[in-house]
Amino acid sequence: MEKRSAVKLSMFVLAVCGAVAAVSALRPDPEPVLDRALRARTIDTLAAKLNEHYVFPAKAGQMAASLQQRQLEGKYDGIDNGYRLARQLTADLHGVAKDLHMKVGYHPMMALPHDDRPAPASRAQWEQHTNFFERLMQRRAAAREVKYVGRLGDKVGYVKITSFPDAYLMPDKYAETMDELADTAGLIMDLRGNRGGDPLAVVLLISYFVDGRTRLNDIWERDTGLSVQHYTEEKLDGRRYGGGKPVMILVDSGTGSAGEDFAYTMQALKRATVIGEPTWGGAHPTGMYPLGGHFYASIPNQRSISPITGTNWEGTGVKPDVETTRDRTLAVARDLMRRRLLDSTTLITSLQH
């Protein structure tokens, strides 16, 4: 018994040491002085990254040319603060391409790696490159994005989801959530204020709401020139909700990115009724690219394309089936759900007689 406890303690100490070492490795260099040379280097690197990765090559060229022209004209010469330069560059990019996912950021306490390392492609790859302690912490943080799971009365389930963390973090939490909701007669999914996240987590969760393999959004990638078709998962860890029971999705202007993906795709499949306000309007998945000197850029490098609508929600947002104000959304959904379930019960009763 004592030996077993000692082994567990040793494993824990090793995990903590590994996490500390990982944090130490990310410790940034001293904050650089934002002089003319660093501004020029940042802008030139940003222009190059846009030309290499932005989802629309022609628009990338226009943005890069605009930034470099403004640089030549001295428009950035008076900016000696990293945050101000990042905000100005973001505004200038939006002046050419109104892509809400595009952003230049600055963080004096963070230095991103100087290579474009991709995110893990699978759960196995993620586990291979992270230690036990990191995996535990990441899973716990991701699980908290499913904010609330419960019931509105005996028959109606309710779940509040605030983002879609990386798919390899979510199988256990989605399974636990759907197991708890599986025996409800209808479900209200609250995505108001959902910040977005991983499109593959959207695929995983939608898989619980269909009865068979279903094609969802295709994603075209600029870096490869290839379009990948995404299908629902056939094997799930939790109980499938199925394709028949009513589902209502609550959205507002703060529902963005992957949150919009979930609502748009469920709506296109005619699998859910979307209720609330038009959403944010960002449909292009992004990559994070270091620019040096504590600057980084979020650059849309992919494009979602629905095989049903032939397009996506970029710039328009998801249009609700039932439009109402944010503070009325849940009440409207509950009333509509009550009437749907009542109509369903009445129909079943009449068929039985």
195, pLDDT greater than 80:
yes
16, pLDDT greater than 60:
no
Predicted pLDDT at 109? 72
Whether residue 188 contacts residue 250, with contact meaning beta carbons closer than 8 Å, is answered with yes
Q: Is the pTM of this model over 0.85?
A: no
Q: Where are the alpha helices (DSSP H) in 194-294?
A: 199-206, 258-268
Q: Is the dihedral of CA 241, 243, 197, 52 positive or negative?
A: positive
Please, how many CA atoms are within 13 Å of residue 99, restricted to the half-sphere of its CB? 25
82, pLDDT greater than 60:
yes
How much is the average pLDDT of 305-322?
96
pLDDT bucket at 12, cuts 50 / 70 / 90: very low
145, pLDDT greater than 70:
yes
Alpha-carbon distance of 105 to 90, in angstroms, equals 8
Burial of 214 (0-12, 13-18, 19+ CB in 10 A): middle
31, pLDDT greater than 70:
no
Q: Which residue has the higher pLDDT, 124 or 248?
A: 248
Least confident range of 120-129, 157-166, 181-190: 120-129
Q: Which has the closest alpha carbon to 341: 275, 273, 295, 291?
A: 273
Instruction: Kindly provide the b/e burial profile for residues 97-135, where b requires at least 16 CB atoms within 10 angstroms of the residue's own CB.
Output: bebbbbbbbbeeeebbeeeeeeebeeeeebeeebbebbb
311, pLDDT greater than 70:
yes
How much is the average pLDDT of 163-181?
96
Predicted pLDDT at 117? 54
209, pLDDT greater than 70:
yes
Q: Residue 302: which H helix or E strand, with range?
A: strand 302-305
6, pLDDT greater than 80:
no
Predicted pLDDT at 121? 65
